[in-house]
């Protein structure tokens, strides 16, 4: 029986939503457009200014704008998405989601212990475990997951927990 204890913060809710967004084709298309396509068009204008009009100063300014666009706009878009994500959660939802959690791998269930009580999730209902550099997401449906931030784990072995959970999910499938 493997067990971990951790704390979920508001920033972890935002990280989960960002993780979900990063996988969408629409978001990838928007990011590609603003990281490569738009700066490429602006650089083309810069090259036109340089070669056709022999205007080095204007070409340099337009080139700097292209680089700034390619670097700055994706950061601004991420900031905007985070802001929108924050507004999707009411204060009650935030209060219900944040706090200390304990997850335990039992033979037939994933046991979640919260200050409000204990709940059991059958392994057949758990879809998968996705591990990133800072988080593990135990998906219980396509758009909801238990968020495990690595930085806030206070007790238990994270790697052992993920391995045991994966084993139980595979056996239940």
Count the domains in the chain. 2
Give me the pLDDT at residue 37, please. Answer: 94
What are 65-118's pLDDT values in tens digits? 999 999 999 999 999 999 999 999 999 999 989 999 999 999 999 999 998 899
Give me the pLDDT at residue 167, please. Answer: 95
Domain boundary among 88, 119, 149: 88
- 63 with 108, same domain: the answer is no
Domain range for 162 is 2-9+92-172
Domain boundary among 56, 88, 120: 88
Q: Which residues contact 10 (CB under 8 A, 6 or more apart)?
A: 86, 94, 98
- 116 with 80, same domain: the answer is no
Give the angle subtended at the CA of 121 by the CAs of 117 and 124, to the nearest 5°: 180
Give the integer Cα–Cα distance in Å for 132 and 23: 13
Give me the pLDDT at residue 68, please. Answer: 97
What are 111-155's pLDDT values in tens digits? 999 988 999 999 999 999 999 999 999 999 999 999 999 999 999
What are 16-60's pLDDT values in tens digits? 999 998 888 998 899 999 999 999 999 999 999 999 999 999 999
Domain boundary among 88, 122, 152: 88
Q: Which residues contact 23 (CB under 8 A, 6 or more apart)?
A: none
Give me the pLDDT at residue 1, please. Answer: 73
- 84 with 36, same domain: the answer is yes
Give the integer Cα–Cα distance in Å for 145 and 15: 12
- 61 with 20, same domain: the answer is yes
Give me the pLDDT at residue 115, please. Answer: 84
Pairing of strands 135-139, 145-149: antiparallel
Whether the predicted pLDDT of 165 surpasses 80: yes
């Amino acid at each position: 029986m493997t067990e971990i204890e951790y704390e979920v913060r508001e920033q972890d809710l935002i990280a989960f939503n960002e993780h979900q967004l990063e996988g969408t084709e629409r978001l990838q298309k928007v990011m590609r457009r603003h990281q490569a396509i738009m700066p490429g068009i602006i650089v083309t204008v810069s090259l036109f200014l340089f070669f056709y009009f022999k205007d080095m100063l204007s070409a340099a300014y337009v080139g700097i704008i292209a680089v700034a666009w390619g670097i700055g706009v994706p950061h601004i878009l991420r900031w905007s998405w985070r802001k929108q994500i924050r507004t999707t959660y009411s204060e009650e939802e935030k209060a219900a989601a944040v706090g200390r959690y304990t997850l335990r791998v039992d033979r037939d269930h994933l046991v979640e212990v919260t200050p409000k009580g204990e709940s059991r999730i059958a392994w057949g209902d758990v879809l998968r475990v996705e591990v990133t550099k800072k988080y593990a997401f135990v998906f219980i449906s396509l758009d909801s997951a238990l968020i495990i931030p690595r930085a806030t784990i206070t007790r238990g072995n994270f790697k052992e927990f993920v391995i045991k959970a994966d084993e139980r999910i595979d056996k239940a499938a």
